[in-house]
A and B are shown apart, each in its own frame.
Chain A
Amino acid sequence: EAGVTQFPSHSVIEKGQTVTLRCDPISGHDNLYWYRRVMGKEIKFLLHFVKESKQDESGMPNNRFLAERTGGTYSTLKVQPAELEDSGVYFCASSQLEGNYAFAEAFFGQGTRLTVV
């Protein structure tokens, strides 16, 4: 069974450009989460999808970030325009929808390392 996959693995862009990150969750996982780890700091929650619906996007830092999950399968996270402070590793995780989401084991992708120069 394929795990959570993220594309690209690395991205280097200039300030002001646009970047789109993609996450393919494990097949059948309705929960999909995006997290970000800025250098030297803890992993921070960005948002949570259940199928195609955003359940909680309170962690999104500002309106330069847009996440979508059309059809409830893969998800994209677009940063437009990118700023220097957006550099970090963006992780996606997925889990099954089983009662209370808090209890479900989340499986993480390898992450996308974004560098804004």
Chain B
Amino acid sequence: ILNVEQSPQSLHVQEGDSTNFTCSFPSSNFYALHWYRWETAKSPEALFVMTLNGDEKKKGRISATLNTKEGYSYLYIKGSQPEDSATYLCAASTGGFKTIFGAGTRLFVKA
């Protein structure tokens, strides 16, 4: 059974702060790690997919790293803006068929 855990559960920051969250997953039978951004009343939007140990991806002020040996990924947001407020989901894929989601980190950015 693959369990994906995210921390913290929620995070409150001020505009301009940089922040990061953690996603941990079992390192065995791992195929890919996905990060999604999910705004209330919308559908999750894919941010990154990473597969190799040491992968780093960047999109604007958001970046992510992957460590498959120890089973974790970090998502970083530099200079948080109010529009970054959302739930950030990570999901791990195993064997190609099943993608297991974590519970998400809810980010609140105050102007």
Number of interface residues of B (CB under 8 A): 24
Q: Is the interface of B mostly helix, strand, loop or mixed?
A: strand
Select one of A41, A59, A108 contacting B98, CB under 8 A.
Answer: A59
> In whole angstroms, how far apart are the Cα atoms of A41 and B104 in the complex?
9
Chain A hits for B101, CB < 8 A: 35, 42-45
Q: Mark B27-44, 1 if CB is under 8 A from A, else 0.
A: 000011010100000111
Inter-chain CA distance A110–B44, complex, in Å, is: 8
Chain-B contact segment, one of A11-19, A69-77, A80-88, A95-103 = A95-103
Question: Of B49, B94, B99, which one neighbours A33 at CB under 8 angstroms?
Answer: B99
Count, chain A residues at interface, CB 8 A: 26
Least Cβ distance of B69 to chain A in Å? 18
B residues whose Cβ falls under 8 Å from a Cβ of A: 31-32, 34, 36, 42-46, 49, 51, 89, 93-104
Q: Give the shortest distance, in Å, between A96 (CB) and chain B (any CB).
A: 13
Of the residues B31, B42, B45, B104, contact of A102 by C-beta under 8 Å? B31
